[in-house]
């Protein structure tokens, strides 16, 4: 009888041990939230994600560093390869300040001595003497932020690479171009205007920090210069020549790139509407 009780007791102890081990294993398998999420009680945001307008949003990573911004890069559902980047946030990360119009729809700044001008909805963007234009991919204005097509950065940074990281959670920009802060920023530039009163002015004809609409030339937007139509703003032209080859006894066509004779290689000419004054 005692032997029987001992056997039953041993079996009960064994069963209790097995149940305890099973519960411990289940508790140990629970995935822990990151400390920041545990403190706030919220799960970390997973990327990419679709916003309320159907755009796919990504983290912003520049030269391997995550940029802390609420203005996340995005792609449209029908164009998953064409990224849009928050212009001011990207340049701020690189140490370049920008000037914005009062309504925020236009941005200008200077990068290594070249003036950058961008207006939302306008197909043409200018950087120095270069005109960057796409009939389908134009800057957009969303929640007080201008987003520009990724190819603009390949123009600004000759070695620039815009892409997505391996798991496509981040839109990336990589460049080794050195920013010369003395030749970059907003010094000497005017606040851009898109039709509303410029920042700092209380209305047409006021004496605030911006220029009134009535004083600005509509052709050049107050810059006093226009893109050279002869070279399309490139500052260069291709010359073709025919030379006779006595060996083949045929004429051969050669070509060479030269400075544009109309703008002298600047890519810009004096605005024909205001004569370079920038005013009407």
Cβ partners under 8 Å of residue 109, min gap 6: 91, 96, 97, 98, 99, 115, 116, 184, 185, 186, 189
Token pair belonging to 37:
């999420």
Rounded to an integer, what distance in angstroms lies between the CA atom of residue 170 and that of residue 58? 5
Mean pLDDT over residues 235-247, rounded?
Answer: 78
Question: Residue 133, exposed/middle/buried by CB under 10 A (0-12, 13-18, 19+)?
Answer: middle
Spatial contact of 140 and 106, defined as CB atoms under 8 Å apart: no
Rounded to an integer, what distance in angstroms lies between the CA atom of residue 46 and that of residue 69? 15
* Cα radius of gyration rounded to whole Å, the chain: 31
DSSP 8-state class, residue 1: -
Rounded to an integer, what distance in angstroms lies between the CA atom of residue 63 and that of residue 128? 24
32: pLDDT strictly greater than 50: no
For residue 102, the model assigns a pLDDT of 86
Mean pLDDT over residues 223-238, rounded?
Answer: 76
21: pLDDT strictly greater than 70: no
> Which alpha helices (H) appear in the chain, and where do they start and end?
2-28, 35-40, 87-93, 151-156
Rounded to an integer, what distance in angstroms lies between the CA atom of residue 276 and that of residue 191? 18
Going by pLDDT thresholds of 50, 70 and 90, the confidence category of residue 206 is: very low
Residues in the chain: 280
Cβ partners under 8 Å of residue 19, min gap 6: none
**Residue 177 — left, alpha, or beta (φ > 0 → left; ψ -120 to 50 → alpha)?**
beta
Cβ partners under 8 Å of residue 221, min gap 6: 117, 192, 193
For residue 1, the model assigns a pLDDT of 55
DSSP 3-state helix, strand, coil percentages of the chain (rounded to 5)?
A: 20, 30, 50
> Which alpha helices (H) appear in 45-120, and where do they start and end?
87-93
Residue ranges of the domains in the chain? 49-189, 215-280
State the fold for domain 49-189: Copper Amine Oxidase; Chain A, domain 1 (3.30.457)
Q: What global pTM score does this model have?
A: 0.57
For residue 209, the model assigns a pLDDT of 35
Tens digit of each residue's pLDDT (9 = 90 or more) over 66-125: 999 999 999 999 888 889 999 999 999 999 999 999 888 999 999 999 999 999 988 889
């Amino acid at each position: 009888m005692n032997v029987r009780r001992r056997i039953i007791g041993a079996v009960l102890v064994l069963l209790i041990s097995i149940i305890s081990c099973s519960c411990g294993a289940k508790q140990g398998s629970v995935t822990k939230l990151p400390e920041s999420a545990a403190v706030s009680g919220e799960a970390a945001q997973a990327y990419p994600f679709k916003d309320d307008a159907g755009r796919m949003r990504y983290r912003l990573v520049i030269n391997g560093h995550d940029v802390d911004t609420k203005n996340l890069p995005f792609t449209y559902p029908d164009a998953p390869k064409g990224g849009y980047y928050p212009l001011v946030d990207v340049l701020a990360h690189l140490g370049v300040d920008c000037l914005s119009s009062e309504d925020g729809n236009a941005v200008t700044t200077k990068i290594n001595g070249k003036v950058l001008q961008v207006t939302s909805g306008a197909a043409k963007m200018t950087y120095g003497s270069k005109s960057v234009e796409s009939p389908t991919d134009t800057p957009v204005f969303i929640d007080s932020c201008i987003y520009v097509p990724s190819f603009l950065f390949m123009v600004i940074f000759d070695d620039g690479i815009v892409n997505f990281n391996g798991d496509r959670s981040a839109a990336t920009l990589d460049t080794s171009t050195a920013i010369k802060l003395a030749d970059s920023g907003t010094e000497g530039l005017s606040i851009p205007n898109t039709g509303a009163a410029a920042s700092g002015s209380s209305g047409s004809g006021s004496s605030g920090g911006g220029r009134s609409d009535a004083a600005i030339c509509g052709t050049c937007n107050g810059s006093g210069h226009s893109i050279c139509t002869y070279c399309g703003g490139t500052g260069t032209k291709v010359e073709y020549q025919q030379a006779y080859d006595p060996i083949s006894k045929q004429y051969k066509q050669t070509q060479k790139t030269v400075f544009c004779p109309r703008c002298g290689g600047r890519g810009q000419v004096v605005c024909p509407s205001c004569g370079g004054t920038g005013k009407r």
